[in-house]
Amino acid sequence: MLDSFKKIAIGSDHAGYKLKEYLKEYLQSQQYAITDFGTYSEESMDYPDAIHPLAAAVDRNEFEKGVIICGSGNGVAMVANKYKLVRAAVCWNDEIVRLTRRHNDANIIALPARFISSEQGLTFLQIFLNADFEGGRHLRRVEKISQIL
């Protein structure tokens, strides 16, 4: 049985479809159990239709981590961050990915498919999956993210 770390939720809109499929191949080759929340083609669709169910599953702790992709990364991140326990971060370079894991304990990476190559997306995914949250002073800050005032 795979632990929750080996279970990855992945989803995209039509602009992120090709990158999603590329990253799925890598994840499967690394023995991750993938749940694909869609979309399943490059046909135009509304990204909230794929991202709401994915983010809800992460919020329920069915997945420790998720990958979401659209043209800019922003739309999918906005949807995902509506969920209390989700911390989705738009990532476009190595250092942003490292910091969002180490300092912010992001549990979903949002990738901007129109602004990065497939190879960059793979590198960012690898960093995201392997970087650990540092805790310490960052824990107090992360705990405040989900507080509703």
Neighbours of 40 (CB within 10 A): 14
Structural contact between residues 131 and 102, judged by C-beta atoms closer than 8 angstroms: yes
Catalytic residues: 70, 103
Rounded distance, CA 84 to CA 148, Å? Answer: 9
Q: Which two tokens stand for residue 87?
A: 């911390």
Rounded distance, CA 116 to CA 104, Å? Answer: 22
